[in-house]
Structure 1
Amino acid sequence: MGSSITLTPGLLQTAKIVGAMSPRPFLAGTLVIELGEVYSAPFAGKLLADLGADVIKIESLPKGDPARSMPPFARSPSPGAGPRDTSLMFAWLNANKRSVALNLRTITGRKLLKGLLAKADIFLHNKQPKDLEALGLTYEELHAQFPRLVVASVTPYGQTGPYRNRKAYPSTALHMTGASWYTPQHVDALDEPPLSLPGRPAAVMGGLAVAMGALTAIVSRKVTGQGSHVDVSETESVMPTQSTPVNRFSFDGMVEPRNERIYGIGPFDFFRVKDGWTSIFLVQDAHWNRLVKLMGDPDWSKDPIFKDRRTRAQYKEDVTALMQPWLLEQTNEDFYVKAQAADLPIGPARTIDKTLTDPQFVSRRIFRKARHPATGDMAYLRPPYLTPSLPWQTPAPSPRLGQHTSAVLMSTLGLSRRQLTTLAAQGVIA
């Protein structure tokens, strides 16, 4: 038999509380109107939808969100799937949402949007100020009409400042921060052009920031009774990653060179192993000493120039050349196991196929397979957090363009089928 547990009054009370906890999603009953395209705002909307919010995605006619036409696409789409329904990026970003298709170039289309905003808790968008002015959707106008509405915006440069209306892709916003200038950080590449980071880090960080800001504003509204404006700049969202060069310039007036030797740390790089690459970024002498021991205390390691991290950084090429023969005898997995046994913060630089089958990620179920009516079976990446009391549910598939227009306008605004037919004939809805 297993060990017994004494049910103290305190433990019993805790059990009653836990037992009474409802599985109701955290944001259940929260209505979000999302006027967002491609990534930053849709990603924020996805995060809110994952928490249980009812996210209504407003798509502009005639084509809707441009992300519908962006790769990657399903290789074997389901029979009858439309050409704008098979983007895997769109499917992931817009799971758990409803789609309402409006012609916002018409007065009636804009009035319908305003009607939905009157019922909403959060208006999430990635529109620039000039676009909002043209649509009559500036924060000042909305706050005057709907004082409890939280307006959450995420744009490349924010809603104020001289760049507020300048166009930029997320990659442009990233490069404006200086992040790409320091990539790569190799002595033999100091004259090479900057390298763009993979993915969409500025859009992802901006989406995370605006989702967090919207949640904060909702909590604040419970106290003040008033909505507020959450103004997120993608560039500012990336800036925390540049804390070292920012601090160096702020205090020393020095623009940090593209050279990891400036840190006085070594080794601090990627190294080849038998079957790929591994990352060895060691910032403490104690870590270096453990690595040397793992390599068998080679004679060259006894040279005084390798005893201090600053001289190791100075003689980086020599350190690399001396370490490389031993590393090339190791497989990535064997070296990783040995390094971890030696309490070294070292790990493989993996390709995505290895990452997705890694037992760590499999055990935490970062992906969940579900069937999408257009793309077929696909893997959904769960939110980047685990909350046992509010387990993540398999997401509802992303909507077709305008899939929920009639249902939303009837249930939320009280329109009749005859009115919907007229609006569709006028090209206002679809």
Structure 2
Amino acid sequence: MDEMGVGARTSRARKLARLTQIQLAAKANVSLSLLRKVEQGDRPASPAFIAAIARVLGVSIGDLTGQPYTPDSADAAAHATIPELRRAIVAFNDEPLTGPTTFDDLTTALDRVRQGMRRARYTDLTADLPDVIRGLHMLADNENPGRELEAIYSTLAYAYSKAMLFAYQYGYLDLAGLAAERCGWAADRSGDPIWPLAAEYNRALILLYSGAYVAGSKTIERAYTASEQLDTTPDLLAVRGALHLRGSILSARALDGDTAESHIQEARGIAEAIGDDRYRNYGTGFRPSNVAIHSVAVPVELSDGTTAVSRAESIRLPASVAPSRAGHHFIDVSRAWLLHGDKQRALGSLEQARMVAPELTRNHPQVHETVRVIARARRGTDTLARFARWANVKI
């Protein structure tokens, strides 16, 4: 059960640091009015707000969000995978392997993980990931230099990218960061010049969450510059498009709306250029629909609920969109409606997120924030109370 919101944790940490609200607002470069509303529970704490406050108070972002959340029975299996995944990432192949050992079997197991994560089903399909990572390391150690070894490292880079996303989803940010670094390590050995660019895309996610928006933007710019030295292919264009989308959120959280919108336009142009071509997206999930999703996320991060709602109203996600992507979209739409002042529709969007991606929704800190703010105005509503109980949020 998530017992406290970001506002209450911010207030507690601020008092422990012996700072007044005026002092903290000035040091974090946030408005005093916003800080007061967040501490009172009247306004959700945005990711950018949380990162700024954590930096000033010298605490981790998890200290303010409460992640990783104490698991209930529905999420226990996913959390139970984390220690084994941590050992696999740290120990490489120094522990006995109990799962598949051939390259074909390992790639089949990894594809099951990919499909599960695409459907936002983490609990029952990620348990194979630690042994996949161990097995690929063992194969790499026993393979001679050449294309076969490079194929193993390419697959290992992908496995680490999935480990990063899994750990990130459940709030284990130190592990997510380590997996992102390992992804880059394997990418550099893959023999594929595009993989290191995708690894930088992954590393930028960790910088995004950490509030290191300048460093994240530089990472994106560096990867994009490197991409310009390669032959232009649909595969490369897809990764470039993904870099633009990550750059759009980094810029939005840094309150640079013009740059954020420029990234969206560039990504949209790339999506149109690729068209129906078949391409490999290196786990970035770049699609035209993902450009539309990010076009809503950008104004949400800029606290522009009106623009976000307007854009969301014109979007109809195709059935092919991964539930994990659709879940994130509906969470952003909920945040947009809350910013717009319509708490009923904000709750309705959360219900949509729950329908398509329950595990993601239950463990998303912005869902917890939105639920608490809605509860301040609509305490006693049966629908809200049921959702809060399901999400393990105390209101």
TM-score grouping bracket, smaller chain normalisation:
under 0.3
Q: Which has more helix, going by share of residues?
A: 2
Bigger RCO (CA 8 Å, 6+ sep)? 1
The structure number with the bigger radius of gyration is 1
The normalised TM-score by structure 1 is 0.25
